[in-house]
Structure 1
Amino acid sequence: MIGMIGIGRLGLPVAVNLMRAGFEVVGFRRSDREAFVHAGGKALESPAEVAEAADVLLLCLPNEQAQSEVFTGNQGILGHLRRGKIVIELGTYRREFKLAQARSIAEQGAEMLEAEVSGSPPMVAERRAALYIGGETELFERCKPVLEAITAHHFHLGDIGSAVAMKLIANSLVAIHTLAAAEAMNLGAQAGFNPHRVAEVIRQGAGSSVMFGIRAPMMAAQSFTPAPGPFNTLDKYLDMGADMASSLGCPTPLFTTATAWFKRALSEGRGEEDIAAVIQLLQADSRQI
């Protein structure tokens, strides 16, 4: 039995992939459980009930506060973990936080893998996302059937903490490549090209990237909601990525430049829009020249 706590924007396609692979999935979310139930999941009334029922428990929560509440709050999971149970943590938190989480789980006799998701919810739904895995090699091998049900692309990188480091590296490139795509799309429009044509032509050549392929059509259409990757979601990765680079003494000229543009978008109240909307900042500044 698989348990899923956090069946929202990212957790729902993870749960659906598991069910399509033949796993029985029980889950908990405070509200909006209809899509999960419609897909074949069984909604339970508390995190504790999910932890009690599941052999493998996946956590997909937005921040450390939410994770802590599910862990140790009223009807939390910690008291329901025991030997033989496995926790797979999908959330992105500080390395120190994850290590403390793993120690608490181990004290209950259970085991934990760190599994960072690299990819948007649509990429997860299409099984094109990647999972970066941190934890014991033997536990990773035992969990392969679950991981392979989520996506064929999963990489064991080392101990707990290694996966979040790789996720921050990947998301620094998401920021850089999205701003680069916006710069190219804006430059094309200023040069007189139809933006849809720019998106079509560039994505077929050497200048393309995954982010260009995903976000250039959105930029061409000026369509930024509903957002597969909103500014609000990216924000914590910008901060965590900057902190990691600083702690390692690494210069990040492109990431630092990109961060300023995404922070500007947030300051303008664009948090719920997709990060592709960064092109509108470039367009606004272009009109001022």
Structure 2
Amino acid sequence: MSFPPAAAKTYDATPARRVAFLGLGVMGHPMAGHLARAGHAVTVYNRTAAKAAEWVAAYGGASAATPREAAAGADIVFACVGNDADLREVTLGAHGAFHGMAPGAVFVDHTTASADIARELDAAATARGLGFVDAPVSGGNLGALNGALTVMCGGAPEVFARIQPVAMAFAKAVTLLGPAGSGQLAKMVNQIAIAGLVQGLAEAIAFGEKAGLDMKAVLGVIGKGAAQSWQMDQRGPTMVEGRFDFGFAVDWMRKDLGLVLDEARRQGVRLPVTALVDQFYGDVQAQGGGRWDTSSLIQRLR
């Protein structure tokens, strides 16, 4: 898979740091690219070494064969991997980053994962004299490419203060919301809000189509009123066109909603709409749409 380059961006004047970035998928690849363009010395690691070589060819820096080697000597280690198990492997595994980081270094996790793993890794980091920040992101691949992600953080204020200006290389906002785990919980709030919103937009468009309306014209009108949202502006027209080969994949959304529903059960919180939309995404997967954008919910209604 070939990755588009990170978009041009004006970077704040921040002292150069030695950093590592673990995980060069559709989010991590451009995020690490922005760090390099901002002047930081970046060493990357990816499970598929060819992706790391591609990144080095595009941005310079260096690659390492293991997370431990990538993290050696780094002031800050960023990661964006798949799930809790992947995160444990790149931190605590035999060749994990925690074994290579020097006391005082900080690990920043951008994976959308559970609040439990954030608290577990925070405790493990503290025992080793390391800092830890859980920092899931919102904004999708375009946000990563444009360096315009929203980053929701959990951790100690003094640790957050060290990483915030560096993370601004790929973000428009990096905000501390509480202790370890708070970033992951905030990302769950984000996904709950999006799930219900996309389903509502899908039903509105399907209804309008059945009624014979020009839905692009309708969206243009109601998008100037109380119904306006990012999803309506950015995904409404492509939903009308039936285009879903981009954006945040249904498979990823179901992973995130699984985390949400597990946490809700632990908290004793009822999320009836979220649980229903999760089932609807299962229907889209059954239609072969696991890699379609989340706006593909409308396909169930056509």
Q: Does 1:243 align with 2:262?
A: yes
Q: Does 1:172 align with 2:192?
A: yes
1:224-269 deviation digits (Å, cap 9, x = unpaired): 11x3211110112211212222333333233233222112212333
| Aligned equivalent of 1:286 | none
Runs of 4+ with deviation above 6 angstroms: none
DSSP-derived class of the 2:72 partner: helix
Identity within the alignment, %: 26
| Aligned equivalent of 1:9 | 26
Q: Give how far 1:91 is off.
A: 1.2
Q: Give how far 1:194 is off.
A: 3.0
Q: Matches of residues 35-184 of structure 1 in structure 2 within 5 Å?
A: 35-37=54-56, 38-184=58-204
Structure 1 residues 200 and 127: alpha-carbon distance in aligned structure 2, compared to 1, 3 A threshold: farther
DSSP-derived class of the 2:77 partner: strand
Q: Does 1:221 align with 2:238?
A: no
Moved more, 66-75 or 105-114: 66-75
Moved more, 132-141 or 64-73: 64-73
Q: Aligned residue pairs: how many?
A: 282
| Aligned equivalent of 1:205 | 225
State the TM-score, normalized to the length of structure 1: 0.90
Structure 1 residues 40 and 106: alpha-carbon distance in aligned structure 2, compared to 1, 3 A threshold: same
Kept after mapping to 1: 8 A contact 2:134/2:153: yes
Kept after mapping to 2: 8 A contact 1:196/1:221: no
Q: Give how far 1:153 is off.
A: 1.1
Q: Matches of residues 16-27 of structure 1 in structure 2 within 5 Å?
A: 16-27=33-44
Structure 1 residues 178 and 91: alpha-carbon distance in aligned structure 2, compared to 1, 3 A threshold: same
Q: Distance in 1 between matches of 2:44 and 2:118?
A: 22
Q: Give how far 1:62 is off.
A: 0.5
Kept after mapping to 2: 8 A contact 1:57/1:87: yes
Q: Distance in 1 between matches of 2:127 and 2:40?
A: 28
Q: Give how far 1:187 is off.
A: 1.6
Whichever residue aligns with residue 278 of structure 1, its letter is L
Moved more, 203-212 or 128-137: 203-212
Moved more, 128-137 or 21-30: 21-30
Whichever residue aligns with residue 254 of structure 2, its letter is D
DSSP-derived class of the 1:93 partner: coil
Structure 1 residues 100 and 197: alpha-carbon distance in aligned structure 2, compared to 1, 3 A threshold: same
Q: Give how far 1:34 is off.
A: 5.1
Q: Distance in 2 between matches of 1:100 and 1:235?
A: 23
DSSP-derived class of the 1:132 partner: strand
* Aligned Cα root-mean-square deviation (Å): 1.9
Q: Distance in 1 between matches of 2:67 and 2:263?
A: 32
Q: Give how far 1:51 is off.
A: 0.7
Structure 1 residues 5 and 280: alpha-carbon distance in aligned structure 2, compared to 1, 3 A threshold: same
Q: Give how far 1:41 is off.
A: 4.1
Kept after mapping to 1: 8 A contact 2:73/2:102: no
Q: Distance in 2 between matches of 1:195 and 1:44?
A: 51
Kept after mapping to 2: 8 A contact 1:132/1:163: yes
Structure 2 runs not aligned, ≥5 long: 1-17
Q: Distance in 2 between matches of 1:30 and 1:242?
A: 29
Q: Does 1:256 align with 2:240?
A: no
Moved more, 210-219 or 51-60: 210-219
Q: Distance in 1 between matches of 2:31 and 2:140?
A: 11
Structure 1 runs not aligned, ≥5 long: 284-289
Kept after mapping to 2: 8 A contact 1:81/1:105: no
DSSP-derived class of the 1:152 partner: strand
Q: Does 1:272 align with 2:294?
A: no
Q: Matches of residues 182-193 of structure 1 in structure 2 within 5 Å?
A: 182-193=202-213
Structure 1 residues 41 and 209: alpha-carbon distance in aligned structure 2, compared to 1, 3 A threshold: farther
DSSP-derived class of the 2:227 partner: coil
Q: Distance in 2 between matches of 1:213 and 1:34?
A: 37
Kept after mapping to 1: 8 A contact 2:72/2:102: no
DSSP-derived class of the 1:165 partner: helix
